[in-house]
Chains A and B, each alone.
Chain A
């Protein structure tokens, strides 16, 4: 087969379109009719990042996948070091020490750590003797995820930490015992329930459910079930109590507010609910086909905060309407599905897990970012991949794509 035809032009094309849409909307979001220089400078910075990203993508096409596999641990270590280095060299921006400032550019090492973790996990799972169902192996995988997550939490940047923990989905897809999946679902459910109806109510529900499970069985089975049910019940109760303790005593007020607004327990559209309200107004007012490029009144008026970064999707929603948002959503979906498809065509585990890691990162970002913008999940400050303004994120995803494209190309060799 012609070696150019073996290349995944489609994914590269999707990447370019999404970045292009992102650029156009960043321009609109920061556009000021009186001072176009501002928008232009934003453009320049983002274009420089894109340029570097494209160069990296191009260069990676000449690096054998084996190279990445061999040096994955080192790359992982480098990213851990870069996170640790923040304590010494990092710059504090709005309360979080997450940035290196080099010249006029800022770099956010936690973005690159995502690539590092993906590589490390891929290497770990691709190991000769590794079996994810074995406790020793999955504990190792957990450690790989936990170290950078812990470091980012301490910055503090809980958003990125949640993203890093999202690699759990890859482990699940790779065959992690299903217990963990249900356990996490169960704990998430308990978490929301506790916040909604308080720890006391949740405890009652737990005990009623536990009793019902035991009582409704036949006697023989009930006896067998009694001990595990009590055990699980106690764990759940402990979790519930700790959730309410953490929520009330460890969380800061702003975190509590975010949850309360989402759960509908608090309505304050001028104060803490401002972001989520304004972003929904912006998107909702776009209607079917939007208000037209550079015509968004919410966008022009600067009502949505952080619009060029985390809330870039509101510009799409307002100026391009339902048509625009569905196109963007569609492009992301196609890209993700394509990556997943490619993953399962890979011959070795390393490549497969890395591709799944890439897809997983896109998935978690899209889910949390769009969920936040559309008011489905609490406000968690993470960017929309490829589209949000910000060099580190774009570069990190470019690196992901570069390696991915090489894997696509190489699998048929």
Chain B
């Protein structure tokens, strides 16, 4: 007899099982998470996305219901596929493919058969739902735009991608994020904060009730509404004026820095990017490299500023004391700035131009001389150009302005290093880079920078960082939009320049911009520009540009208009600016003839030249 055998065996068994249990339940912590993953469904509760209003309280963006057709494959019965296909506008193959995918995902858990069904389709579908057991309609919320302009400002929302998920732990797959425009900038304000509810599910992935009776659940934080600084009526008007023309209009309220309008044409209806057709339309917009719908010309378009830049050179020259307002230069319909190098001008030969006349006649000769005096002063070209560069930087040039929109370009203002690279060993001086005098050359500016220059001049020396936000429910606005940014130019020098700009409209290059009863100050520009056609650098018709503010004293609006390939400034840009000013300050436009000309005018023929594959004339 082995009397100890069973006792030992039982003891050993208990020990082994005890150790195994200890290992499984106490030492290892991997199983806890596994079981949670298995059986607890974390479901988010989303607050409704915030509304967006314009400066006058007009609703711009709200939310609208969209409908997803859901299917639980296990509950499907035989149904009329043809009928369903017709209603959903699917082919039978597509439908079967979707059903197969749903089945493969799960027989018992619901999956989306067709997403984002519009209200119209929903109305039809809903009445026939009884015919399709195993399917039901799930409501969800998408954006609704109450305007068909301003898509460049408002932006859009879309599902988060892998990058968003990796960089921002807040988001999980399938959630929406502001992708562009103020939707992106003010994402946190507009989205609020989602809540979480934990649900218990069974092995078939079906929900069988709240987990721990909702003890761990959190409530969502409501989203806030956003009031923008833009005037949607003005935005619509500006968009209409720029119809069939490529370009931008950007207007700023000088004493606040609030952006009143920011038009970029051609544009698209923001509602196009909502709903089931979104991806096809988006692709189409994205692929159009000629119209460049998704390119915001007023924020991203970097142009040589052209003649409006002359006023900046005038200001720098006055500040540096290299010219006197009364000093005059003679223009012979242009001048030689170097041997065999002639810069033409529109002045009649023999004109004597002072600062005032130089501005309102936009005399190239005058500003060449001014510029050379700035750069060549005491022969310290490097120091002078860096000085000039710093003055311009104080206007917000050559850098991002810091506004609350995700897109933008810094523009460019050259400095000494730049030219030392181009012309080593000090082989450059004022005359070498004289194109800068008239805003051609190496300088690049965006329309918002131009508008901001107009704002600064209107304010006689300072500006607020331009911004699209006017108010947030709950009152928070970034304090940087309330901080004055003062330029390096003394206030008194602005008086001469403002007077010159007033004369531009009174008797100069932009008499067309005059509005009875309002003193408009402006500066036209005609920008030479080039493109590459089949690898050949080709000059195109000049851009038409105009910066303005009004009224002259206590200005209410400052703006920049650029019309690509519109030829001279007074042809398109100045009238458009003038009409916008009239509309904004007076509410209605009296000059119907001018309005009609702008509304109906088209530059499509001009744009077609580039792609015509034929030689063409410019500046016709």
Q: How far is the CB of A102 from chain B (nearest CB, A)?
A: 33
When the two chains form the complex, which single residue of B5, B18, B203, B212 contacts A329, counting CB atoms closer than 8 Å? B18
> How far is A89 from B3 in the complex, measured between Cα atoms in Å?
42
Interface bits B1-29 vs A (CB < 8 Å: 1, else 0): 11101110111011011101110111011
What are the interface flags for B197-211 relative to A under an 8 Å C-beta threshold, 1 for contact and 0 otherwise?
A: 000111100001101
Shortest CB distance B145–A (Å): 43
Q: How large is the interface on B (under 10, 10 to 19, 20 to 34, 35 or more residues)?
A: 35 or more
Cβ proximity bits A318-333 to B, threshold 8 Å, 1 near / 0 not: 1001100110011011
CA distance A340 to B40 in the complex (A): 45
Which residues of the partner chain A approach B20 to less than 8 Å between Cβ atoms? 374, 376
Residues of B509-553 contacting chain A, CB below 8 A: none
Contact A325 B6, CB 8 Å, known A284-B32, A301-B201: no
Given contacts A285-B32, A301-B39, contact A363 B6 (CB under 8 A): yes
**Given A363-B13, A376-B16: A173 and B35 within 8 A (CB)?**
no
CA distance A297 to B41 in the complex (A): 11
Q: Hey, which chain A residues are within 8 Å of B40, CB to CB?
A: 297
- Check A301/B203 contact, CB under 8 A, given A283-B24, A322-B22, A374-B21: yes
Interface of B: prevailing SS: helix
A401 smallest CB distance to B (angstroms): 17
A72 adjacent to chain B (CB < 8 Å): no
Q: Which of A275-315 touch B at CB < 8 Å?
A: 278, 280-288, 295, 297-298, 300-303
Cβ < 8 Å to B, chain A residues 172-196 = 172-175
A285 CA to B40 CA, complexed, in Å? 13
When distances are taken between beta carbons in the complex, the residues of chain A under 8 Å from B2 are 172-175
A359 touches B24 (CB 8 A): no
The one of B1, B16, B209 in contact with A173, judged by C-beta atoms closer than 8 angstroms, is B1
A169 engages B202 (CB within 8 Å): no
Q: Cβ of A367 < 8 Å from any Cβ of B?
A: yes
Give the distance to chain A from B202, nearest Cβ to Cβ, in Å: 4
How many inter-chain residue pairs (CB < 8 Å) link A and B?
128
CB contacts (< 8 Å) of A367 on chain B: these are 13
Bound CA–CA A300/B31 (angstroms): 16
Of B11, B17, B34, the residue contacting A281 (CB under 8 A) is B34
Docked-complex contact B208 and A301, CB < 8 angstroms? yes
Mark interface residues in A356-382 (1 if CB within 8 Å of B CB, else 0): 100110010011001100101000000
Check if A90 is an interface residue, CB within 8 A of chain B: no
- A385 within 8 Å of B (CB atoms): no
B198 shortest CB reach to chain A, Å: 10
Are B25 and A322 touching (Cβ within 8 A)?
Answer: yes
A336 CB-CB contact with B under 8 Å: yes
- Please name the residue on chain B nearest to A295 by beta carbon: B212
Contacts of A285 in B (CB 8 A): 31-32, 34-36
Q: How far is the CA of A298 from the CA of B39 in the complex (A)?
A: 6
Point out the residues of chain A lying under 8 angstroms from B11, CB to CB.
333
A133 to chain B, nearest CB (A): 10
Question: Pick the contact of A287 from B1, B7, B32 — CB < 8 Å?
Answer: B32
A317 within 8 A of B: yes
Are A322 and B26 interface neighbours, CB within 8 A?
A: yes
Question: B208 touching A325 by the CB < 8 A rule?
Answer: no
Contact between chains at B209 and A33 (CB < 8 Å): yes
Q: Complex formed: what's the CA distance from A283 to B21 in Å? A: 8
The one of B7, B18, B25, B36 in contact with A297, judged by C-beta atoms closer than 8 angstroms, is B36
Contacts of B32 in A (CB 8 A): 284-285, 287
CA distance A301 to B3 in the complex (A): 46
Is B426 at the interface (CB under 8 A from chain A)?
no
Q: How far apart sit A34 and B36, CA to CA, in the bound complex (Å)?
A: 22
Min C-beta distance of B109 to chain A, whole Å: 13
**For the complex, is A13 an interface residue (Cβ under 8 Å from B)?**
no
The answer on a CB contact under 8 Å between B28 and A284 is yes
Interchain nearest-CB distance for B33 vs A (Å): 8
CB contacts (< 8 Å) of B81 on chain A: these are none
B17 is contacted by which of A282, A329, A337, A343 (Cβ under 8 Å)? Answer: A329
With contacts A282-B35, A329-B21 taken as known, whether A302 is within 8 angstroms of B7 at the C-beta atoms is no
Q: Which residues of B contact A332 (CB under 8 A)?
A: 14
Q: Chain B residues near A173: list those with CB within 8 A.
A: 1-3, 5-6
B284 to chain A, nearest CB (A): 43
Q: How far is the CB of B173 from chain A (nearest CB, A)?
A: 22
- Bound-state Cα–Cα, A336 to B11, Å: 10
In the complex, are the beta carbons of A325 and B21 less than 8 A apart?
Answer: yes
Residue of A nearest to B1 (CB): A175
Question: How far is A383 from B11 in the complex, measured between Cα atoms in Å?
Answer: 21
Q: How far is the CB of B217 from chain A (nearest CB, A)?
A: 16
Chain A residues contacting B28 (CB-CB under 8 Å) are 284
Q: Are A359 and B6 in contact (CB under 8 A)?
A: yes
Q: Quick check: B35 and A297 within 8 Å, CB to CB?
A: yes
- Does A251 belong to the interface (CB within 8 Å)? no
Residue of B nearest to A132 (CB): B1
Contact (Cβ within 8 A) A317 B10: no
Tell me, yes or no, whether A344 is within 8 Å of chain B by CB. Answer: yes
CB of A302 within 8 A of CB of B203, answer yes
CA distance A337 to B3 in the complex (A): 12
Q: State whether A337 touches B5 (Cβ < 8 A).
A: no
Q: Are the CB atoms of B5 and A172 closer together than 8 Å?
A: yes
Asked if B80 is at the interface (CB within 8 A of a chain A CB), the reply is: no
Question: Would you give the shortest CB distance from B39 to chain A, in whole angstroms?
Answer: 4
- Nearest A residue to B38 via CB reads A303
Residues of A within 8 A of B36 (CB): 285, 297
A367 CA / B2 CA spacing, docked (Å): 20
Distance between Cα atoms of A142 and B34 in the complex (Å): 46
Q: How far is the CA of A148 from the CA of B170 in the complex (A)?
A: 64
| Interchain CB contact under 8 A, B17 and A288 | no
Asked, given contacts A172-B2, A337-B10, A360-B6, whether A325 binds B200 with beta carbons under 8 Å apart, the answer is no
Provide the residues of chain A in CB contact with B1, threshold 8 Å.
173-175
In the bound assembly, the distance between CA atoms of A373 and B16 in angstroms comes to 13
CB distance from A387 to the nearest CB of B (A): 14
Taking the closest CB of chain B, its distance from the CB of A177, in whole angstroms, is 11
Chain B residues closer than 8 Å to A280, beta-carbon distance: 24, 31
Known: A285-B32, A288-B26. A297 touches B211 (CB 8 A): yes
Complex interface: chain B residues within 8 A of A318 (CB): 35
For residue A283, which residues in chain B have a CB less than 8 angstroms away from its CB? 21, 24-25, 31
- Asked whether B25 lies within 8 Å of A286 as measured between CB atoms, the reply is yes
Q: Which of B10, B31, B202 contacts A363 (CB 8 A)?
A: B10
**B30 part of interface (Cβ distance < 8 Å):** yes
For residue A185, give the distance in angstroms from its CB to the closest CB of chain B: 13
Q: CB-CB < 8 A to B203: which residues of A?
A: 301-303
Distance between B108 CB and nearest chain A CB, rounded to angstroms = 12
A100 to B9, CA, bound (A): 35
Closest to A332 in B: B14
How distant is the Cα of A317 from the Cα of B211 in the complex, in angstroms?
19
Smallest beta-carbon distance B106→chain A, Å: 13
A367 CA to B14 CA, complexed, in Å: 9
Are A287 and B25 neighbours in the complex by a CB distance under 8 Å? yes
Q: Which of B5, B34, B201 contacts A284 (CB 8 A)?
A: B34
Interface CB pairs A-B, < 8 A, 19: A169-B5, A172-B5, A174-B2, A281-B34, A283-B31, A284-B24, A284-B32, A288-B26, A297-B38, A301-B38, A301-B201, A301-B203, A303-B202, A317-B21, A322-B25, A333-B14, A344-B3, A359-B6, A374-B24
Given contacts A285-B34, A326-B21, 19 further A-B contacts (CB under 8 A): A33-B208, A173-B2, A173-B5, A281-B31, A284-B32, A284-B35, A285-B35, A288-B25, A288-B26, A297-B36, A297-B40, A301-B39, A301-B201, A303-B38, A329-B14, A329-B21, A332-B14, A363-B10, A374-B21
Q: Which 3 A-B pairs have CB atoms at the shortest separation, nearest pair first?
A: A284-B31, A285-B35, A297-B39
A residues with CB within 8 A of B: 33-34, 169, 172-175, 278, 280-288, 295, 297-298, 300-303, 317-318, 321-322, 325-326, 329-330, 332-333, 336-337, 340, 343-344, 356, 359-360, 363, 366-367, 370-371, 374, 376
Binding site for A on B (CB under 8 A): 1-3, 5-7, 9-11, 13-14, 16-18, 20-22, 24-26, 28-32, 34-36, 38-40, 200-203, 208-209, 211-212
